[in-house]
Amino acid sequence: MRIGIAADHGGFELKVQLIADLRTAGYEVEDFGAHELVTGDDYPDFVVPLARAVAKGEITRGLAICGSGVGACVAANKVPGVRAALITDSFSAHQGVEDDDMNVMCLGGRITGYALSWDLVQVFLNAHFKWAERFSRRLAKVAALEKERKV
């Protein structure tokens, strides 16, 4: 499984820790930045390239981190084909994948501690979409929204 990860200054430290443990666990990890701590950087500069790679299928699952996780989630969800959610509990980490085919998990680097974040990442990466008819039907409706042209 190819994992992509991105963070601004608010999630930089958590990103560095997660990359180390993901690689130790045997995952192929692509780091979309930030590659150094710059307190004035902007989460869309890192999260959007990650989200685009997920949408294109170049990355299997993405992890997007900013201070609260909210901005990263907002930015990731602007990319068609991305289904991102801010996750703070293990139920949502697996249910978001199983029922909603979530492909980007967002974390708050200033909100969620490392131990919980690592647990959530493992749950997210081990979950699989259920392919039940009701879930597929709902996702088709979401995909249709992405194709609408806004005036």
The catalytic site residues sit at 66
Q: Where are the alpha helices (DSSP H) in 25-89?
A: 44-56, 70-76
Measure Cα distances from 73 to 13, 26, 127, 133 in Å: 18, 26, 19, 27
What is the three-class DSSP state of 105? strand
CA distance 14 to 127: 22
